[in-house]
Structure formats: structure tokens, C-alpha cells
Amino acid sequence: MHQKLQQLLSRIQPADCSIMVAAQAHLDDLTKPQGSLGRLEEIALKYVLATGSLKPILSKKKICCFAADHGVAAEGVSAFPAEVTPQMVYNMLNGGAAINVLARHAGADLDVVDMGVNHDFPDMPGLIKRKVRPGSGNIAIGPAMSEEETLQALLAGAELAVDAREAGYHLLGTGEMGIANTTPATALYSVLLDVPIESITGRGTGIDDERLQHKIAVIKRAVDVNAVRCTSAFTTLAALGGYEIAAITGFILGAASCRIPVVVDGFISSAGAVAALKLCPIVDDFLFFSHLSNEQGHRVVMQKLGARPILDLDLRLGEGTGAALAMQLIEGSVKIYNEMATFSAARVSEKSAE
């Protein structure tokens, strides 16, 4: 394994379970029947353990939307042409995309990170330039990225998470933009989770039945062509992924190394999370899966991971939209933990012993 990646992984430590009993006791002492706030209590407990503090802080939030183009778009697997990627990046930078609206509503800052868009952007507020190459290779005929490029993208994502920690952020979210990126995401799932391609291939931007069958065939070809390269999670990410997916993987690893919880968006962001989990299973302690995507395969993926997404709203946009929505529930959960009165302090009678 590459030395810099190994160093990053070595810095990741599990959540602080030594405070679990005290944190649960505090939740149980809040002025409500025990467990009556359901998953909000579970979310609060996970946040407390991730941060390692019985008095957790959650005020500054940031979403990073990683953007890149994909060579496999040339195979006609998307309903939209590749030039939509830079057009949507401009839309985000101008404040007009769904993620802009929802991030503002959530009180989260938004950065758009160019990891590999086939376009030269001018310097603009909110744009971070980390381009590795203008578009990945076509996975239907060869690898998406070299190992060196994959490492560069991964470490760039990790660095952004560390920078966010140093800037005082408490909760991070992932997002992505890249035409055709459900194709590499599906290819990654099929190999990393050993699931049938047909069971996890969805319609992405809204392709018809004929193009869906074509997409399945392209993904099968990509997996076959790159099979010899897929000897580890890292080499599989290089062979079948993309620059924004690798950056999301690094972003999650970097956040975990700083004990910052990460809210994972949808189908594509979850592929970056799966790669991170395969590289370092400990990162699960720091992950919140924001929502169950309407993409067909996401339910299969979540079941494979034993994960329970926070929301189920039939979302399939990406960008970080689900992460922005879930951030509000996580923040609400932490406020419940921090701000509700306790039975002992409020002198409210508890449930009688039977």
C-alpha cells in the first residue's frame, strides 16, 4: 500500500466507546420516556461517541460537492451529454442548484471541488481546484485512473477534510456532480460488495429500458476488462472509479482521522464510502448515511452494509442534497441531547417501578 495512504489510515481510531454508558444514561435521564425519540436518540449517541465528547458541539457544517467527468459517458450510458457537468458546476457556483438551496436552508457552507471536470474554470468564489485530469478513462476499455492519480485524488479529499477541521467545522457532508457517474459507482459496488450487476444498475438520470440494458452490458464489460486490476479496494477504486469518487473516499478517511462525523449523500457518494470502509472499516463509526436513494441498487448496498439511512424520500439527484437535509436532523438530535432538561434537574417524576 502507498506510504501516504498507510499513514492516513494509521491515524484513524475508533469512536470513544468509553463514554457510551454515560452518554446513554444522559439520554435516558432526559424528560421523556426512555427511547421515545427513537432514531434521534441513536443519532445523538453516535455523534457523541464519534466526537468523543459528552458535551458535543455542532454549529459549523460544510458540504463538499466533488465534480468530475467520466470517459465511460462516451458509451451512451446517460440521458445527458458530458457537457452538462461543467454547466452544472457553474450553476452551483452561481447559487442556482438544488444543493445551494438546501445547504442554505441547513445553514451549511458549500464548496464545489473540481477533481476532474473536462473544462477549465476561472477562479470563482466557492470553487476549489484540485483537478487531477480532465476526465477519467473509459472503464469499458481500460482503467479509470492510474494508481498515482487515484492516490492524488484521495489525498486531496483527505486534505480538504483536515482543512475543514482546522477551520472549526463539526459536521461534514459529501456531494458529487458528474455525468455518467452512476456507471462507475455501480461497477465499484459489484466488485467491492460482490453483488450482481443487474440487481444494482439503475436508470441514473432517467434512461429508458433499452439504454438500461445497454448500461448493464457496459458495466459488465468494464468489470471484465478490469478484473485483473481489481486485487484490492484501492486498485479497484483506481480501475473502476472516478476522480470525484476517489476524493469522496479520501474526504471520509480524512474526516475520520480528525474525528469529524460525515454525512454521506446518495448512490455515488456511498460508493466512495464503501471504498473507504474497505480500506478502513473503522470509518463506519463516523458515517451517517443520509438517505435511501431512489436508484435501484442503493437499497441492496445499504442492506449489504447493514446501514440504515436517515431519510427515505425517493431522492436521486446527488449534489449533496440528501446530506443537507439529513444534517438538520443530526443537528436537531444533538440539540435534544444538549438542551433538554433531565429528570434529575427538572424534578419531574419518572416512570413508576412496577
Chain length of the chain: 354
CA quadruple 316, 322, 325, 327: dihedral, nearest 10: 170
Burial level of 17, CB count in 10 A (0-12/13-18/19+)? exposed
CA atoms within 13 A on the CB side of 350: 11
Instruction: Reply yes or no on whether 319 is catalytic.
Output: yes
Amino acid in the structure at residue 107: G
Residues 6 or more apart in contact with residue 257 via CB below 8 angstroms: 8, 11, 12, 158, 161, 162
Q: Alpha helix locations (H) across 280-320?
A: 296-305
Q: Which of 42, 319, 331, 354 is catalytic?
A: 319
E strands within 192-350?
A: 262-264, 287-289
Known catalytic residues are 319
